[in-house]
Chain A
């Protein structure tokens, strides 16, 4: 081979080496781009998914908290309404209790009431010997109807006239006054007990009001608050 052939061959070889290198570099660069895209996409999707889940969880918590708060407020307002119902009804009872004081004012009517109370108490106890307690102010009225009551009971129950001992040492507390409205008081009526004190029948006006009130409460509530009261 002559010089020019050799150098041509060498130049060819050099070009070949260069071409191979450039082709290889190209391959690398193309696959690098692909890998770049895939890698970036995967990373972004994974992170986004995590972030989405995190915020979904946060929103759910907020939602739950809101629901709990609302339900608490609903409960609070229900309780308010129930409390108001209770107050309204108790106010009526208090109004009635006030009116009770007038009952013992009319002596004629009251005397009759005392007599009936005594008869009723005797009928309930059905004891041959009883203790009777009344208010100090009512003592006279009570004693004035005692015999009549005993007779009425004996007839109705078909028994011998029982013995009634009126307690003159301990009396029922007096009518309530403005300055001691919280102290023990009695609006009238009697308390009767068997001789041994074991059976006691409270037939005071106040006790009767309690019983009547409690018995009629469902009806009163229905009238006031309609059907299912909350």
Chain B
């Protein structure tokens, strides 16, 4: 009688022990999974960040090419103006200069 009951009891303990191990094992597995998830989620966040940065970068590229285009135009216009002013002031004094040059050529100091 006693030994039979004893067997039952031991069986119950063994079963409980097995279940306990299962519980702990599952918890450990979950932990491992969780760490993997950490990597995956981190990657996802990082690539989101990267595409955000890329968009900002592309936007700034567009802006700068636009502004440099207008800079070039401004520069060209300024240059044109300078050259036109040059030509104008030159034509004003051109005759004077030519006369002066001729005078020096034909006035011979002996």
Contact = CB atoms under 8 A, between A and B. Distances in A.
Given A11-B12, A40-B38, A96-B98, 20 more contacts: A17-B19, A18-B23, A24-B23, A28-B28, A29-B30, A32-B27, A35-B31, A48-B46, A55-B56, A62-B61, A62-B64, A69-B68, A77-B79, A80-B83, A81-B82, A88-B90, A89-B90, A91-B94, A113-B108, A152-B110
Given A43-B46, A47-B46, A224-B89, A21 B97 contact: no
Contact of B101 (A22, A43, A212): A212
A171 interface: no
Contacts of A66: 64, 68
Interface residues of A, number: 74
A88 B86 contact: yes
Contacts of B87: 84, 88
B18 to A, nearest CB: 10
Interface of A: 3, 6-7, 10-11, 13-14, 17-18, 20-22, 24-26, 28-29, 31-33, 35-37, 39-40, 43-44, 47-48, 51-52, 55, 58-59, 62, 66, 69-70, 73-74, 77, 80-81, 84-85, 88-89, 91-93, 95-96, 99-100, 103, 109, 113, 116-117, 119-120, 123, 152, 156, 205, 208-209, 212-213, 216, 220, 223-225
B13 A35 contact: no
Chain A residues touching B, majority SS = helix
Top 3 A-B pairs, shortest CB-CB distance: A21-B20, A43-B42, A47-B46
Contacts, number: 186
Contacts of B12: 10-11, 14
A116 to B, nearest CB: 4
A10 B12 CA distance: 8
B105 A44 contact: no
